[in-house]
Structure formats: C-alpha cells, structure tokens
Amino acid sequence: MPMTITEKILASHSGKAEVKEGEFIEAQVDLAFANDITAPLAIKKFEEWDEQRVFDAEKVAFVLDHFTPNKDVITAEQCRLVREFAQRQSITHYFEAGASGIEHVLLPEKGLILPGDLVIGADSHTCTAGALAAFASGVGSTDLAAVMITGKIWLRVPSTIRLIYHGELQPWTSAKDLILYTIGDIGVDGASYRSMEFTGEILSRLSMAGRFTMCNMAVEAGAKNAIVEPDEITLNYIKGRGERDFSLYYSDPEAEYLETSDYNVSKIEPQVALPSLPANVKGISEVESVAINQAVIGSCTNGHLEDLRVAAQILKRRKIHSGVRLIIVPATPLVYLEALKEGLLEVFSEAGALVSPPTCGPCIGGHMGVLGKGEVAVATTNRNFRGRMGHPESEVYLAGPAVAAASSIKGRIAGPDEIK
C-alpha cells in the first residue's frame, strides 16, 4: 500500500509493514523530552506510579529553558526537582544554565534527533523536529511519564495534508511569512490532528532554519506533526552531529492525501499576525500604523543564527526607537557564540537592544520581557493569544525578524522596506 513519509515512520516504529489513516498503534520512541515546566509534572506522576527507572537513560532528555535562569523560588524548586531526578536516573542528556538552550533548537543541534526518528516531547512545539524528516509530536506530562517508563506511546495515525510551495520569494519574505500565510489560509484548526507535509521547489531551497520555523508553527494550525522529506540540506545539517544510525523515508508518489494546497510564494509579502490569533494574518502593506512598546527577536521559531543576521542587517548603524524595548534571544549557546563571533551582538548592543541568554521567557510571558497593561509587542514568537506575553490587556503581533527589527526602529509596526 502506498504511504506518506509520516505513515512510513509510524509503521517502522510499530513493527508493521504498513499503517493507514485512523489506525491505532503502539510505537517505540527514540527520544522523549521535557522542560522545566512539564518535566516536574511528569516526574511526580512517574513517582506516583512507584517506578524506579526510566526505560533508557540515553533516550530521555530534560532541557531547562522556560524559566531559567530561575526567576523566583517556585521556578527554582521546579528546576531542582528535575535536576535531582536526572541525577538519580543518570540521564545522559540534561541541559541547564550555560549548557542549555531552547529545547526545539538545542536537541536537533546536539544531534539527538535524526531522520526517521519518532520523538515525543512534553511541549506543543515538538513538531519543530519534523524539519529533520522525523515524526515529532507534543504530549501532556502524564503521557510523557508513561513514555519514560515504557519507551512506547499509543498514537492514532493522522491523515496528511500536502502543502506545496513554488515561485520566487520576494525580498525580505522568509519561512516565517510562509507559515503565517498558510495558517491564515487554513485557520487555527485547518490541520487538526493531521500531518502537515511541506514540499515543493521552495522547500527544497529553504535552509534548515527555515524548515524548523515552518514545522514549529504547524501546531498553530492544530497539526499532530509537521514533516519535510530529507534531502542534501538535511544530510548536511546532521553531518557531524548524529552518532547513530538513521533511516530516510519518502512519501510514495501514489500516497493518498486528505488535501493538497498549492502556494505561489511570489505573491506573499512579509506577513503579520494581528491579535489575538496566529491565523489573523495580513500582509505588511495592509497593516495599519500601530505603535509598539516592545519587540522580541528569538524563540524556538526565529532564534536561529540566520534570523539574527537578518535583524542585524536592518539594525546596523541604526538606533531603536526611544519608546521601544528590543530584546534579542539567541536560541542556543552555539547560536549566541556564532552571533558574537560575527559581530551581530555588537550591532544589537549599539542599536540599543538587550541581548538575552537562550530562554523561552519572553514568548510565554514568564520573564525577560513581560508586557504590562495596554502594552503592544511585535515578536518573532509563535503565539499571540490574549495575555500570552504578560498582562491580559496587552497585545502581541507576530512577524518575522525583518519586520520585528524594522518596527523596533520605527516605533510602530513597519516593513523593512521603510528603513532607508
């Protein structure tokens, strides 16, 4: 039976020759991970069930990235609980402080996720790793506790929607703009419990950072997972990172898709998602002048080195608006170090920006950039729900790094073409 790449990965991990849409399977997990918010809940459930050991200390990872460095006593206690559990269990892949980064960027960077893997994370943006041609999906902490014990998970095989991108990208239009445009087109439930398979000539030319960005936001359309077929770009990325065997899977030409959508990217300008849904999208030329108080460039969506390069290109020899706080968040220590070597951090500092250590803090309204009542932010993050970044009466506009950088200079939502 012809299968999609997602179906092939699920079949291989459930010991079956083939699987089909809607089928329930029990699948072996290659990597299970959690962060400082979701891990404590999973650990408590693990201990409630009186379990002694995780199924494999090398296949469980903990990344303390949401509230670290600890912002208060409560978060310090959460991290202590995870740290001590990791020590007792001899967890190989434990990351905090200077070794830590944003989990969805750090784990692929460390070579812990490879093509053909089945990855389960206690975080909704686990789907990011689909850019590596892996099946990656988020679960709740209780489900993660069960995976930590058994190394397996029950899944229902999702149907797949195929999204084809062709044409030529406009100047300043990036992967973030493509995924925002797509979510604006299909809606926040347009891919509910489905696999989003990104393909087409544009995907074949996108960098890994761009692919990670697109897969990251698939969950904002309700997707179970997102995936990109492997190619030379994938293999070049994992070269020197992964130290174990991996498998390459490709969708069969005759594979059945629930839906197929075709996008001519030549018509897509930089996009902005207005409050308070990621699907409330407009092209930058359609967005009215909106004054901002804060801009954030970073997160698991756009904290890659190439995102910082785009921002620096716009900010170089310029100053941010006097009424704006610009926060730059490199996604991992390696991204931070490379940005430092390239002089990007100097550009940001001279422009008047604040450079943060790797953290999810601003994105979740946790720390390092919480919004007050009535404040407005433009951010390269992935969600703009009411109260997402702070006060329930604050507002968040989502955009790519070019728009965020330009807006920080103008003091209002602005496109990069306005910066002369």
Over the stretch 59-73, which tens digit does the pLDDT of each residue have? 999 999 999 889 899
Q: What is the DSSP string of 285-320?
A: GGPPP-B-SEEEEEHHHH-SHHHHHHHHHHHTT---
135-to-30, 162, 269 alpha-carbon distances in Å: 10, 15, 30
335-to-146, 149, 206 alpha-carbon distances in Å: 33, 33, 19
Determine if the pTM surpasses 0.95. yes
Q: Which domains does the chain have, with CATH numbers?
A: 5-262 (3.30.499.10), 272-418 (3.30.499.10)
Give Cα 44 distance to the centre of its chain.
26
For residue 241, give every residue at least 6 positions away whose Cβ sits within 8 Å of its Cβ, in sequence order, or none.
108, 109, 110, 111
Would you give the DSSP letter of residue 220?
A: G
Span 293-308, pLDDT tens digits: 999 999 999 999 999 9
Question: What stretch of H or E contains 333?
Answer: helix 333-341
Predicted local distance difference test score (pLDDT) of residue 96: 95
Predicted local distance difference test score (pLDDT) of residue 1: 87
Cis amide leading into 276 (omega within 30): yes
Q: What is the DSSP string of 222-234?
A: T-SEEEE---HHH
pLDDT under 50: residue ranges of the chain: none
Strand, coil or helix: 404:
helix
What's the CA gap between 71 and 179, in Å, rounded? 32
Burial 324-354, CB ≥16 within 10 A → b, else e: bbbbbbbbbbbbbeebeeeebbebbeebbbe
Residue percentage of the chain with pLDDT more than 90? 97
